[in-house]
Amino acid sequence: MGSVVLSLDAELGWGFHDLERLPIERVESGRRGWTVMLELLEEFDVPATWAVVGHLMLESCDGTHAQHPAPDGWFERERGEWQDRKDLRFGCDLVTALLESDVDHEFASHTFSHVLFGHPETDRELAAAELERSIEIATEWGCSFESFIYPRNAVGHRDVLAEYGVSAYRGWTPNREGARAVFDSMVRDQSLLVDPYIDDYGLVNVPASLFLFGFEGTARTLAESIWTDPMVALARRGIDEAVTHDGTFHMWLHPNNLTTERDDKRMRAILSYLERRRSESDLVVETMADVTRRVRQSRGVDGVSTRLNTEAKASWN
Ligand SMILES: [Zn+2]
Ligand SMILES: [Zn+2]
């Protein structure tokens, strides 16, 4: 018997602030997607890991961040173009809704300002500052976090995570994504399950299985006109696999992926299927923190696994 994990990268404007060309539809969907996901997860009683950008939990700021060792221009958009877009820079209302949800969600970190940890220009000092600030703000809110999700999944500075008391992160998926994932699973019958493990820093890597919005644009429209939403079919396969096999099916998305009702429909179809399969079997839904506890218990407290996947090795820095 396996388990299902759902994680979300909750970021509002911060997921895009460093991009020259903004994907407007996504940028403007962060708030609606956040609310829709909270409602759907409550309706189907599914706990998820929400990795929140720390800056969203500030009441206000002047955009200076003088103490922060970010490169020049890092906060440029918040100081300029988004000066009047508080809805993109702050999200205290949404974080409160998350913390007050009837579902026992996990509060996790997605850095302070969406710095890419795997980027060659992100040095140790910057990574440490992002974590330190995130911990400070969380503490002010009476929160703490065990899990961390890397912006754009750019794994790096795992030693800093360990130093600041983080227990787990979402590692890169061993599977191909988008249309290729559909092919690998449906045609090649490749498994969507992952096997969380303790890495050489003592952190639990809970690798992603499937990005739920990796199949978009014209290809999605064409596929949907012939079959059911291929991503729903894929998610159902992953859930079914977790019912019959050991291992974890780890789905992930950003709230801002829910740009239209069509996307809400996708999430509703996946979550209702998950609820149904859970009710008729021993399948469990876990947060990343649940997985972490389980993996650590099964390996013993100091049982450091020597297993390393090539992705993790390749992204050391
Ligand atoms: Zn700011
Ligand atoms: Zn992100």
pLDDT single digits (tens) 40-68: 999 999 999 999 999 999 999 999 999 99
- Counting ligands in written order, which one lies closest to the CA of residue 78? 1
For residue 58, count CB atoms less than 10 angstroms from its CB and return exposed for 0-12, middle for 13-18, buried for 19 or more: middle
- Counting ligands in written order, which one lies closest to the CA of residue 62? 1
What is the CA(61)–ligand 1 centre distance, in A?
5
Who's near 168: CB < 8 A, 6+ residues apart? 146, 147, 148, 203, 204, 205, 206, 288, 289, 291, 292
Strand partners, 65: none
Reported pTM? 0.91
What is the CA(58)–ligand 1 centre distance, in A?
8
Whether the Cβ atoms of residue 10 and residue 254 lie closer than 8 Å to each other:
yes
Residue 305: pLDDT band with limits 50, 70, 90 = very low
What is the CA(60)–ligand 1 centre distance, in A?
7
What is the CA(152)–ligand 1 centre distance, in A?
20
What is the pLDDT of the chain when averaged over all its residues? 91
- pLDDT score, position 301: 55
Q: Which residue has 């079959």 as its token pair?
A: 227
Residues, Cβ < 5 Å to ion ligand 2: 9, 11, 15, 151
What is the CA(253)–ligand 2 centre distance, in A?
10
Residue 29: closest CA among 294, 258, 237: 258
- Counting ligands in written order, which one lies closest to the CA of residue 51? 2
Over residues 248-261, the mean pLDDT reads 97
- pLDDT score, position 312: 43
What is the CA(112)–ligand 2 centre distance, in A?
11
- pLDDT score, position 222: 72
